[in-house]
């Protein structure tokens, strides 16, 4: 008997450009169910995990993610997250989560002021999360980045809290590509159900892409859902 599939929702904003990549990773690579959710929708129903994909939501006018944060769907996304639902924000999706206050900190322009698109190596700092439970402690993952505003910043008190609560999930290995404070590449909220990361795991979900390390993150989500619903 085939096990029940989990349902992922990929939120699409005007300017999203990694929505199809995320959909493919979930639907074709993992074999789970997936829907596109338009930014003007206001109701979420039956989803096990939401993905806020990368891109340039609303053209990145004002600040990256600042306008998307006010899309109608975000009220439902915020409610879903505060009720314990799994959310992963990737690149621009991470920026949206920051603007919405679902994750602490902010994004600034890359230190070199240039758009960066290349594979980088990140280290898994916490494997006790829904997004990393299939990773090994301090495992190194090869995953690409593609951003202009990926320089994560948090004040001293916020950074201290992130470290204390083990909310730093990924760190860049040297050299740090964008100037991100404490080499941070990804963080989660204190409850652990919301992850934001600048690297693109969906672009490293199959060997033909140059790495399938990103598949570990999506597979970890499915593994966590299976254990929770067992």
Catalytic residues: 91, 200, 202
Quickly tell me which residue has 């949206």 as its tokens. Answer: 96
Instruction: Please compute Rg for the chain using Cα positions.
Output: 16
How far apart, in whole angstroms, are the C-alpha atoms of residue 208 and residue 216?
A: 16
Range list of β-strands (E), the chain: 7-12, 33-38, 49-52, 86-90, 106-108, 116-124, 140-147, 151-153, 168-172, 184-188, 194-197
Q: Are 180 and 149 a contacting pair, CB within 8 Å?
A: no
For residues 107-136, b (16+ Cβ closer than 10 Å) or e, as one string? bbbbeeeeebeebbbbbbbbbebbbbbbbe
> Of the candidates 211, 221, 207, which has an alpha carbon nearest to the alpha carbon of residue 135?
221
Quick one: tokens of 104? 């602490």
């Amino acid at each position: 008997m085939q096990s029940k599939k989990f349902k992922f929702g990929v939120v699409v904003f005007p300017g999203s450009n990694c929505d199809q990549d995320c959909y493919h990773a979930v639907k074709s690579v993992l074999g789970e169910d997936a829907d596109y959710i338009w930014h003007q929708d206001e109701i979420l129903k039956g989803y096990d995990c939401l993905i806020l994909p990368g891109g340039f939501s609303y053209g990145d006018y004002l600040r990256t993610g600042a306008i998307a944060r006010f899309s109608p769907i975000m009220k439902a996304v915020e409610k879903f997250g505060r009720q314990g639902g799994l959310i992963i924000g990737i690149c621009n999706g991470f920026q949206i989560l920051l603007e919405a206050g679902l994750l602490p900190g902010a994004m600034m322009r890359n230190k070199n002021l240039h758009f960066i698109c290349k594979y980088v190596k990140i280290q898994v700092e916490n494997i006790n999360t829904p997004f990393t439970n299939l990773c090994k402690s301090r495992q190194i993952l090869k995953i690409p980045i593609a951003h202009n505003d990926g320089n994560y910043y948090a004040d001293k008190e916020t950074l201290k809290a992130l470290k204390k609560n083990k909310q730093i999930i990924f760190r860049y290995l040297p050299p740090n590509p964008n100037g991100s404070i404490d080499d941070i590449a990804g963080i989660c909220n204190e409850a652990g159900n919301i992850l934001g990361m600048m690297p693109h795991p969906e672009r490293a979900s199959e060997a033909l892409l140059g790495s399938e390390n990103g598949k570990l993150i999506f597979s970890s989500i499915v593994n966590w859902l299976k254990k929770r619903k067992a």
